[in-house]
């Protein structure tokens, strides 16, 4: 018995441990494909230096012309009447803006950024221009026409002097050195707010005439994204030219409503937004007119107005930089190097100098909506943008033809902006793939830059009176104009906040900020593709001293 008990005890001691069940699967692990960071968008049909057929390129270029018209007409409508101008002077201002947009875009695509970005009038200049208009409200003039020309001459002088801010920042390479402080963590809020910061020009303007704005938005989304699936033959056409088709359909619908008397008994502001016969551009525009230097008279230089315009020049440089980053991604190019951004901002200053000489009512910046159109059509060809310059110059000279398209109601453009600005904002978010999106440090920089960029600019917008007076109200009017203009721009606030935080907060390793990907694009020889995308045309680079390249 004892032996048996001992034997059983020994057997129990030698028994193997029970087999443990395998641990439960970690459901947090991805079981699908993991998308690797991609420097170039794979869905592009044509990149920066590839070109569609000529007939397609012409239609795409005309589409870019139609898209940039909205901002041009909006600026002229906002400012010319307040300056005392009539419908004829509004038509001539639109012609001048179109003419200089064509010239400036050609120069920028040849000798500046070399990106497929349209250069058009900048809304950042509206605040300092309103300040100039307000200063002349109480002055006595023999006629409203005299008040208009006197105001235009003052704007000309302010643009001419303030242009040297961008010329110096660009060609001294100071702006390029500033962009070397950027990382993908900074680029995300800057580019995103280039699109999101313009939200007031989307649905709020669409709502001024819901009867045509909302159908335009719905029709554009349905046609461009869903109807192209109906048949393979329509896929190609609708994906690239749905915007033109929708504009034609909704514009015709608005004309039918106007003729039928749908807006006869509504308030004046609704008639102005909805009717197709309230712009008076067709009747007032000249058949042929070539804009020429100092067409409004000798420029007037006043220090207080010049300083206010300098703030707008800085804002236009910041917004243009963010737009160029979006354009590079949507055209299949590498991120623009520091030396390219320096020369492009310097050239933008020269463009502003030309704007002042020819008498545009505002300065120049890169058009956000046209960059969004690159993403909508999946075509980032530089040649298409250069052809669109021909349409801008042609319709600026032959005024009646240009006035026909400029009479498209603004809510139609606002519906288009809802899509195009959203695309640019999403492109900004895509830069986050090159940094550590799981880093709490990066989340802090991104969150604060995005929120303050929107919140501060919205505060300044909400507290700015129709005459241009903002929340900064000291005894120095020029100082007020500078601060009110700078902090009314969401991308500019994002650059200030993001750059300071990203370069001063502690980080564990440089890869956390995405610098290993970012740094090679900041110098000419850092990446072999830089010269491929950004070199000057022909052999011009051999004739220009290297310090200016």
pLDDT at position 241 is 95
Query: What is the token pair recorded at 380?
Result: 């980032």
State what percent of residues in the chain have pLDDT above 90.
70
Q: pLDDT tier at 20 (50, 70, 90 boundaries)? A: low
Model-wide pTM > 0.85: yes
pLDDT average, residue stretch 228-240: 83
pLDDT average, residue stretch 235-251: 93
pLDDT at position 543 is 61
pLDDT at position 546 is 58
pLDDT average, residue stretch 176-184: 93
**Are 194 and 323 spatial neighbours (Cβ–Cβ below 8 Å)?**
yes
Q: Per residue in 122-171, pLDDT tens? A: 999 999 999 899 888 878 888 999 999 999 999 999 999 999 999 999 99
Confidence check: pLDDT of 547 > 70:
no
Q: pLDDT tier at 21 (50, 70, 90 boundaries)? A: low
What's the whole-number average pLDDT of the chain?
89
pLDDT at position 96 is 96
Instruction: Say how many C-beta atoms besides its own lie within 10 A of residue 506's C-beta.
Output: 5
**Are 425 and 118 spatial neighbours (Cβ–Cβ below 8 Å)?**
no
Query: What is the token pair recorded at 367?
Result: 């058009």
Which of 10-19, 389-398, 413-422, 471-480 is predicted least confidently?
Answer: 10-19
CA distance 491 to 483: 14
CA distance 386 to 466: 37
pLDDT at position 6 is 47
**Are 484 and 464 spatial neighbours (Cβ–Cβ below 8 Å)?**
yes
CA distance 273 to 410: 7
Which of 117-126, 190-199, 334-343, 513-522 is predicted least confidently?
Answer: 513-522
State what percent of residues in the chain have pLDDT above 70.
92
DSSP 364-379: EEE-HHHHHHHHHHTB
Confidence check: pLDDT of 34 > 80:
no
Which residues fall within 8 angstroms of residue 90, CB to CB, at 6 or more apart? 76, 77, 80, 81, 281, 284
Q: pLDDT tier at 528 (50, 70, 90 boundaries)? A: confident
Quickly tell me which residue has 């002055």 as its tokens. 139
Query: Which is nearest to 419 in space by CA: 247, 256, 188?
Result: 247
pLDDT at position 369 is 97
Confidence check: pLDDT of 483 > 80:
yes
Q: Per residue in 65-90, pLDDT tens? A: 999 999 999 999 999 999 999 999 99
Q: Per residue in 37-61, pLDDT tens? A: 887 787 889 999 899 999 999 999 9
Backbone angles phi, psi at 131, to 5 degrees: -65, -40
Query: Which is nearest to 478 in space by CA: 152, 169, 132?
Result: 132
pLDDT at position 7 is 47
Confidence check: pLDDT of 15 > 70:
no
Q: pLDDT tier at 322 (50, 70, 90 boundaries)? A: very high
CA distance 513 to 398: 51
**Are 311 and 489 spatial neighbours (Cβ–Cβ below 8 Å)?**
no
pLDDT average, residue stretch 403-421: 94
Query: Which is nearest to 472 in space by CA: 155, 196, 158, 128?
Result: 128
CA distance 444 to 195: 21
Kindly state the DSSP code that residue 119 receives in the 8-state scheme.
Answer: E
pLDDT at position 1 is 43
CA distance 473 to 87: 34
Q: pLDDT tier at 235 (50, 70, 90 boundaries)? A: confident
Query: What is the token pair recorded at 517?
Result: 């990907």
């Amino acid at each position: 018995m004892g032996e048996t008990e001992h034997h059983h005890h020994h057997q129990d001691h030698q028994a193997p441990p029970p087999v443990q069940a395998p641990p439960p699967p970690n459901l947090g692990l991805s079981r699908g494909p993991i998308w690797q960071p991609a420097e170039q968008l794979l869905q592009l049909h044509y990149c920066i230096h590839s070109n569609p057929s000529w007939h397609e390129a012409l239609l795409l270029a005309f589409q870019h012309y139609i898209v940039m018209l909205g901002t041009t007409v909006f600026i002229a409508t906002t400012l010319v009447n307040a300056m005392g101008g009539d419908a004829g002077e509004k038509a001539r201002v639109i012609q001048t803006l179109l003419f200089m947009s064509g010239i400036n875009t050609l120069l920028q695509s040849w000798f500046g950024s070399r990106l497929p970005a349209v250069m058009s009038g900048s809304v950042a200049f509206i605040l300092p221009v309103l300040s100039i208009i307000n200063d002349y409200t109480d002055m006595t003039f023999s006629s409203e026409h005299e008040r208009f020309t006197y105001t235009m001459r003052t704007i000309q002088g302010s643009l001419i002097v303030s242009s040297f801010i961008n010329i110096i920042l660009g060609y001294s390479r100071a702006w390029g050195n500033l962009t070397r402080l950027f990382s993908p963590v900074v680029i995300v809020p800057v580019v995103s707010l280039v699109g999101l910061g313009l939200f007031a020009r989307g649905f709020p303007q669409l709502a001024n005439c819901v009867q045509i704005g909302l159908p335009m938005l719905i029709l554009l989304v349905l046609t461009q994204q869903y109807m192209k699936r109906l048949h393979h033959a329509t896929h190609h056409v609708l994906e690239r030219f749905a915007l033109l088709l929708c504009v034609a359909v909704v514009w015709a619908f608005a004309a039918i409503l106007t003729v039928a008397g749908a807006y006869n008994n509504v308030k004046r502001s609704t008639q102005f937004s909805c009717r197709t016969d309230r712009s008076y551009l067709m009747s007032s525009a000249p058949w042929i007119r070539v804009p020429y230097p100092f067409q409004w008279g000798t420029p007037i230089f006043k220090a207080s107005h010049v300083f206010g315009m300098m703030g707008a020049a800085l804002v236009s440089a910041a917004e243009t930089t963010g737009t160029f980053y979006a354009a590079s991604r949507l055209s299949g190019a590498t991120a623009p190097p520091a030396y390219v951004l320096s020369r492009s901002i310097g050239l933008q200053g020269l463009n502003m100098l030309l704007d002042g000489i020819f008498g545009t009512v505002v300065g120049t910046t890169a058009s956000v909506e046209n960059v969004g159109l690159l993403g909508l059509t999946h075509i980032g060809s530089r040649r298409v943008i250069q052809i669109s310059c021909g349409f801008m110059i042609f319709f600026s000279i032959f005024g009646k033809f240009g006035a026909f398209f400029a009479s498209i109601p603004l809510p139609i453009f606002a519906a288009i902006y809802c899509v195009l600005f959203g695309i640019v904002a999403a492109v900004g978010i895509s830069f986050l793939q090159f940094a550590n999106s799981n880093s709490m440090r990066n989340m802090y920089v991104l969150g604060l830059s995005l929120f303050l960029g929107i919140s501060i600019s919205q505060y300044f917008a909400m507290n700015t009176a129709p005459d241009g007076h903002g929340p900064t109200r000291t005894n120095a009017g020029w100082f007020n104009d500078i601060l009110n203009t700078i902090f009314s721009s969401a991308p500019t606030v994002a650059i200030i906040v993001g750059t300071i935080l990203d370069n001063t907060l502690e980080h564990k390793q440089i890869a956390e900020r995405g610098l290993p990907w970012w740094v090679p694009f900041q110098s000419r020889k850092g990446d072999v593709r830089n010269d491929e995308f950004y070199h000057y045309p022909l052999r011009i680079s051999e004739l220009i001293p290297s310090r200016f390249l």
